[in-house]
Amino acid sequence: MRKLLISSLAWILFLCSCMASAEEPVIAVIVSAQPAYTVSVATSDLASVYWRKKLYDNQGKPLHPANLSSDHPLRLRFSQQVLHSNPRSQVGYWNEQYFHGIQPPYTVESQEAMIRYVAYTESAIGYIDACKVDERVKPVIWITANKILGEPPSLRCSAATP
């Protein structure tokens, strides 16, 4: 009886974790896979890069962060976890930056557009569902439901995910 209870609980926990990961895909922060276009990004710098507080990398190359559109679920999560605010509340901030001559990150409409932008733009940084990473881009930071990691977590990508 006790064994049955423990194994049932284990199954429930396993199912819950599967459901949670299905709802919250791991986000991969990506840079170009091409050596000429790639750039290094530290986990601690990610927020500064997306707030456009850090405009250059350590070699003096200008950084080009890109966002998904403001209503994209990955943008909302990225914004929440990395920037600690939602895109709607950032309107005032970006107006302020515009006043100082600083443009917000470039916006793309889809994850495929993000891959193309990052792959072929020098020092570009973007983010997509970690299961959609392909050979054109290189993941450098991973964002799970509650952590920002410099090492890849174990991914559960379904067969349907390209």
Partner 1 sequence: MANILLRCVLSVISLCLLCKSLMAEEDASFWQGFRVGGYSSIDLRIPRTETTQLKWNELSMIVTWDQGTRLKFFSELELENPLSYNRHQGLHSKESYIHFERFYFDYNLNAKTNVRAGRFLTPIGRWNQLHAPPLVWTTSRPLATTELFPYALNGLMVFGNIPFESRSLEYQLYAEGVKSDRKERDETTYRDVNGGRLAINNLFNFTSENAGLNTIGLNVSSFQERFTGSPSYRLIGLDFLLEFDRWEITGEMYSRNTAQGKDAGSGGYLQSAYLLKDEWYLINRLENLHMPDRPNAERWMIGLTKRLKPNQLLKFEMVGGSGEYEDVPRGFATSFAVMF
Tokens of 114: 């993000």
Tokens of 33: 């896979």
Give 85 or 110: the residue with its C-beta nearer to partner 1. Answer: 85
**Nearest alpha carbon to residue 66 among 104, 38, 101, 28:** 104
State the nearest-atom distance from the C-beta of 74 to partner 1, in Å.
15
Give 99 or 151: the residue with its C-beta nearer to partner 1. Answer: 99
State the nearest-atom distance from the C-beta of 17 to partner 1, in Å.
21
The conformational region for residue 52 under phi > 0 = left, psi -120 to 50 = alpha, else beta, is: left
Which parts of this chain interact with partner 1 (CB under 8 A)? 44-45, 47-48, 51, 53-58, 60, 62, 80-81, 84-86, 89-93, 95-96, 98-101
State the nearest-atom distance from the C-beta of 2 to partner 1, in Å.
38
Other Cβ atoms within 10 Å of 140 Cβ, number: 19
State the nearest-atom distance from the C-beta of 84 to partner 1, in Å.
5
